[in-house]
Amino acid sequence: MSARTWLRAGLAFLAVTQFAVGGWALLFPRSFFDIPWVGMRMPYNAHLMMDYGAMSLATSVVLGVAVLVVRRSMARTALAMYLVFAAPHLVIHIQMLHHLTPAERVPLLAALTVAVVIPLALLPLTSRLEKA
């Protein structure tokens, strides 16, 4: 597979994931919050969950445009935008692991680490795209 194909596939994966998570959090905030590594045994806040859902949906739009408009500047912007959220999100959750059982920590850390590794792996592929 070409670099362009890998990049497009990675961006599509991130876009679909953000769309699914965002839709779930926005439309079914209580259900989303009830996942142990989301609520982390803290008080429920519907407003916060719906805001998170809306932000994730907005993120999916930018990533989706990058899938359709496969240009260097668009792909880099989409990946940078995603990383600006994903990297601090991982760090924040690492600092709050004490709220979770050891069994709950593993899937959380795995998912959030992958959410940082994927865009970092895709960024070098953008150098093979035409400028725009």
pLDDT of residue 130: 76
Contact 24, 38 (CB under 8 A): no
Task: Spell out the alpha helix ranges (H) of 29-71.
Answer: 29-33, 36-39, 46-68
Residues 82 and 86: their CA atoms lie apart, in Å, by 6
Taking only the tens place, the pLDDT of each residue in 85-126 is 999 999 999 999 999 999 999 999 999 999 999 999 999 999
Contact 107, 52 (CB under 8 A): no
Taking only the tens place, the pLDDT of each residue in 39-49 is 988 999 999 99
